[in-house]
């Protein structure tokens, strides 16, 4: 009898913070809750993992990433004019060089830059985890329909707390107390 367990390549994550810029965020539906979830995700991710990418859409017109949502550890910054982060020069090479298999995506706007990035990254063969409560659009219907479309195309839809515990894996980790405090606050 053959072993039915699949053997996979080791999972290596990257966090993609997409277009978390003041002029983009201003009109977003439910933005305060989304920003808090992005902060939790970023704070936990910096403790548990590495490989953080921050994109800025047309920063000359839309401004820089909100300072308190910039990683405190080293990260790659991507300035872009196209809506999809996957079309940014060098990004895919960097992901391949680091042997990244899974992309954890949050930011703005769900139905524009997030959706176009996710759909393109899925076509490139990455597993994409969409953090539904750490992203948003000006109109909630656009957000919800976009989540359905990405799910239909193969993205995994999850939440901030769920992905944090998934990356942490066990309460035996020395960082768990710090992670628990991030979740509680």
Residue 168 in this model has a pLDDT that exceeds 50: yes
What's the pLDDT score for residue 9?
A: 64
**Is 3 inside any structural domain?**
no
Number of separate domains in the chain:
1
State pLDDT tens for residues 144-165: 999 999 999 999 999 999 999 9
Domain limits at 131?
13-184
Mean pLDDT of 167-176: 90
Query: What is the Cα 151 distance to its own chain's centre?
Result: 15
CA 125 to CA 102: how far, in whole Å?
Answer: 10
Mean pLDDT of 18-39: 95
Residue 173 binned pLDDT confidence (cut-offs 50, 70, 90): confident
pLDDT of 2 > 50? The answer is no
CA dist 90 to 1, 49, 166, Å?
45, 21, 28
Asked, for residue 96, whether it belongs to a domain, the answer is yes
Q: Is residue 7 part of a domain?
A: no
Residue 117 forms part of a structural domain: yes
User: CA-CA distances (angstroms) from residue 165 to 20, 40, 95, 133?
Assistant: 23, 12, 23, 15
Q: Is residue 47 part of a domain?
A: yes
Residue 66 lies in a domain: yes
In a domain, 1, yes or no: no
CATH number of residue 160's parent domain: 3.40.50.850
pLDDT at 33 > cutoff 90: yes
Q: What is the pLDDT of residue 89?
A: 83
pLDDT of amino acid 10 = 80
Residue 48 forms part of a structural domain: yes
pTM summary value: 0.92
Asked whether 53 and 75 are in contact (CB, 8 A), the reply is yes
Asked whether 110 and 137 are in contact (CB, 8 A), the reply is yes
């Amino acid at each position: 009898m053959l072993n039915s367990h699949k053997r996979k390549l080791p999972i290596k994550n990257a966090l993609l913070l997409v277009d978390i810029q003041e002029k983009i965020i201003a009109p977003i539906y439910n933005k305060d809750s989304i920003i808090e979830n992005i902060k939790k995700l970023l704070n936990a991710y910096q403790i548990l993992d590495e490989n953080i990418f921050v994109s800025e859409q047309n920063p000359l017109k839309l401004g820089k990433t909100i300072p308190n949502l910039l990683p405190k550890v080293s990260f790659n910054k991507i300035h872009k004019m196209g809506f999809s982060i996957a079309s940014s020069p060098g990004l895919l090479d960097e992901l391949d060089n680091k042997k990244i298999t899974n992309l954890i995506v949050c930011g703005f706007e769900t139905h524009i830059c997030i959706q176009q990035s996710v759909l393109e990254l899925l076509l490139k063969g990455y597993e994409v985890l969409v953090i539904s409560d750490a992203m948003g659009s000006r109109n909630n219907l656009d957000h919800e329909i976009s989540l359905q479309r990405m799910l239909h195309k193969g993205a995994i839809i999850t939440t901030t707390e769920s992905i944090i515990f998934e990356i942490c894996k066990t309460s035996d980790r020395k960082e768990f107390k710090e992670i628990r405090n991030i979740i509680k606050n």
